[in-house]
Amino acid sequence: MDVATRGLILLSCLCAISAIDLEVVEPSYYVEPSASLDVIDYKDPCKAVAYLGDIALDEEDMRMFKVDRIVDMTHRTLNTTHTRSQANEGSPNTAVPNQAGSRRRKRAATSRPERVWPEGVIPYVISGNFSGSQRAIFRQAMRHWEKHTCVTFIERTQEESYIVFTYRPCGCCSYVGRRGGGPQAISIGKNCDKFGIVVHELGHVIGFWHEHTRPDRDEHVSIIRDNIQPGQEYNFLKMEPGEVDSLGEVYDFDSIMHYARNTFSRGIFLDTILPKYDVNGIRPPIGQRTRLSKGDIAQARKLYKCPRCGDSLQESSGNFSSPGFPNGYSAYMHCIWRISVTPGEKIILNFTSMDLYRSHLCWYDHVEIRDGYWRKAPLKGRFCGDKLPEPIISTDSRLWIEFRSSSNWVGKGFSAVYEAICGGEVKKDNGQIQSPNYPDDYRPNKVCVWKITVAQGYHVGLTFQSFEIERHDSCAYDYLEVRDGNSENSPLLGRFCGYDKPDDIKTSSNQLWMKFVSDGSVNKAGFAANFFKEMDECSRPDNGRCEQRCVNTLGSYKCACDPGYELAADKRSCEAACGGFITKLNGSITSPGWPKEYPPNKNCIWQLVAPTQYRITLLFDVFETEGNDVCKYDYVEVRSGLSADSRLHGKFCGAEKPEAITSQYNNMRIEFKSDNTVSKKGFKAQFFSDKDECSKENGGCQHDCINTFGSYSCQCRSGFILHENKHDCKELAVIMSSTAYLAPSPVPTGLINIPVRKPAPGLSPPRLDTESKSHSTKSTWSPTWNARMTTWRFTTGATAKPPASGATAAARNLHPSRPAATRCSSAFSPTTRCRRRALRRPTQQSVAVD
């Protein structure tokens, strides 16, 4: 670690957490598309110059370290697949230890004024790829900081500097403090969406470094370096005296900004940071991710210069009073109370007692009420003297109450109570409506009615971020009702309950009526919804600047193209489209620009995929491309499979339609290619998929299975006929009469299958010579035995002799047709006609036909 203590080890790279190959990257901005046409160009912590644990560092941070030399570790193999303690946040696995010899001051809480958020106000945006439950966790974490400090998180409107909650590949990661000049991301990656981890990352945003980097840490903890993962030692370096100022606070074992005992450990049960015993002989626990510690709260209040008296009030009702009430307040007091209730609720503030020094315009002692979250919000009133003000109702969900005393006159002071009321008239173009006490469970027996009105000429759009209301088939208990108008008699748009987010809603006018009802039993997290003024951008004369089609969507619009075309890179103009991955069972494909001529230099690939055991058939309706038999210029190529080297069915061009093509498997690849010269009309083809029953167990057929469209059939081989069950095959029996002579045939030789019994060893069938009476042909029969059959081969001659008596008798033994007196071979029973014995199954005898 000598190099690490004398200079800065810079590993200027970042890959995914599981990556091993390192890649040098430049500091850059990441452009993330949003749901609308706008994009957020934010400073991405996952593309920082370097890292200190889960803290992203930029060039300005590096200059602050006063680097005297850089050691490039990009060629050093690091184990970047480690896992961190479950009690601690994740982070990028790239290393930037801090320079121990730097003289620039660096604090546990940043000392640089430009890194502190002005007035403690931090605007935020939550990216659209987070779920409703994740958004609720983010809001709970922000409210936790608000509850215990004077920091305020607001949804961003027009502010230049703000944070963006994003899901990035570097896991849990953030810059320290405010980086002015635009948005900055806070990465809440995989497994980072836990309350304590989000509170920790927000601590970095507010301006805090890790607690264990303090120069006095060795008095409180021991670093077990042998247990640290190789390459992660930089995470445990400390600052020299004068580099870190903890704002006068003692070392805080309980800080949410402290590492856990086994962070970056080689084994889950091996300590890397070991707290020393306290006066009671106990090792204090470290690395909690549950809540802010007293030290965290004290440091944050000092960093943002929070008033000594006052409070952040977040309950649905409560009370507060001036210091010392009713026994009097001191001179030169400054107190601030911030009341924050659920968005969509309003606050009613009532003063129950008032006794302040009276002056002209309440110049000296006074209490001010402002309608918002900070001291620059619209003034509701400034009060002094002993006259009770009228009840004050906020226009939104926040009130700012500030008390100042500057005289030596001692009065009782004041006391006040407040209550959150849900519902009311909302007259603005956009905002948020939430169920009471969201994201915590809504309260029982609540009835809230909102009447939302936006500017004339617009509609009201409503989108739900999260939704969880007691489930019931008819929404009889807890429910949200939405109507298209400004009263409960307006047309009903929906009555919702359960856990599924309702679809986006758009009214027909500029008014929307909402009613939330809860009973006295089951309570859930409720809902959060955004409303905004909605207009049909496609109704403008320029068609939304879309070349072909304009599709209006809630809160925005998008351009679309006619069939055969696709959006160009500018998302407004259209160009000839082609190719794609298709899983439909049937459909059609066309060449680009159909029915017009296809454009030059197009290469289109369609990949058709059907379910298993299906085959795809392609049928061309129209076909006209440039080319001849060689298909050198423009062509269509069809293959069974999805790759370019799959089985080729054909390469087609010219004006002749190809025959129907059926794939060998359940997928097909169709490629169209045109050069830069002649263009033709192209093609139009239909495809349909059919189940190939023969591909599984031969369709149940004993012999051959023939697939047909929509069905299949079984067929038998020669010498067999199909059974009545349409699947099995049975032998075709041959019965020949002894008086029947061989019919004339153009084939001089042949084969006849005759079922006979194989003779006993040493015996063989006789040689038969037969003669046709009518055609004067002579046949010579010669048997040949094998293991299963006897093959009788015959040849025919031109002599016209009657068959010899011996031959006739032998033939009679084979195919008898005479009465019972006829002798039969041992394979047949001597009845009126020789019949096969039933006791033993004969073997198959064949007469071969060449």
Is 148 annotated as ligand-binding? no
What residues does 691 pair with on adjacent strands?
Answer: 614
Q: Which tens digit of pLDDT belongs to each residue from 672-698?
A: 999 888 888 999 999 998 888 787 888
Looking at residue 527, its pLDDT comes to 95
| Element containing residue 786 per DSSP (H, E) | none
Is 459 annotated as ligand-binding? no
pLDDT band for 226, please (50, 70, 90 cuts). Answer: very high
Task: Report the pLDDT averaged over residues 759-777.
Answer: 45
User: What phi-psi label fits residue 726: left (phi over 0), alpha (psi between -120 and 50 degrees) or beta?
Assistant: left
Quick count: other Cβ atoms within 10 Å of Cβ 52? 23
User: What phi-psi label fits residue 101: left (phi over 0), alpha (psi between -120 and 50 degrees) or beta?
Assistant: alpha
Whether residue 447 contacts residue 515, with contact meaning beta carbons closer than 8 Å, is answered with yes
Q: Spell 102-116 as b/e; 16+ CB within 10 A means b.
A: beeebbbbbbbeebb
Looking at residue 569, its pLDDT comes to 77
Answering whether pTM is above 0.85, one says: no
d(Cα 206, Cα 435) in Å, to the nearest integer? 28
Check whether 850 has a pLDDT greater than 60. Answer: no
Is 703 annotated as ligand-binding? no
Residue with more model confidence, 773 or 213: 213
Task: Locate 392 and state its tokens.
Answer: 């004050």
Check whether 81 has a pLDDT greater than 70. Answer: no
Catalytic positions: 201
Whether residue 620 contacts residue 658, with contact meaning beta carbons closer than 8 Å, is answered with yes
What residues does 310 pair with on adjacent strands?
Answer: 336
Q: Which tens digit of pLDDT belongs to each residue from 577-612?
A: 788 888 888 899 999 888 888 888 888 999 999 998
CA distances from 113 to 103, 109, 177, 373, 528 (A): 18, 11, 10, 22, 36
Taking each helix axis as running N to C, give the angle between helix 294-303 and helix 132-148, from 0 to 180 degrees, rounded to the nearest 10.
70
d(Cα 507, Cα 266) in Å, to the nearest integer? 59
d(Cα 690, Cα 272) in Å, to the nearest integer? 64
In the chain, the domains with their CATH numbers are 2-275 (3.40.390.10), 307-422 (2.60.120.290), 424-534 (2.60.120.290), 537-574 (2.10.25.10), 578-688 (2.60.120.290), 694-731 (2.10.25.10), 749-845 (no CATH)
Mean pLDDT of the chain: 79
Q: Which tens digit of pLDDT belongs to each residue from 396-448?
A: 999 999 999 987 777 899 999 999 999 999 999 999 999 998 988 998 999 99
Task: Report the pLDDT averaged over residues 247-251.
Answer: 86
Of 699, 701, 745, 753, residue with least CA distance to 722: 701
Q: Which tens digit of pLDDT belongs to each residue from 324-380?
A: 999 999 999 999 999 999 888 999 999 999 999 999 999 999 999 999 999 999 999
Please provide the size of the chain in residues: 850
Task: Report the pLDDT averaged over residues 66-71.
Answer: 40
Quick count: other Cβ atoms within 10 Å of Cβ 831? 12
Task: Locate 559 and state its tokens.
Answer: 């351009």
Please report, rounded to a whole number, the percentage of residues in the chain having pLDDT higher than 90: 49
d(Cα 805, Cα 378) in Å, to the nearest integer? 133
d(Cα 127, Cα 193) in Å, to the nearest integer? 14
d(Cα 432, Cα 448) in Å, to the nearest integer? 14
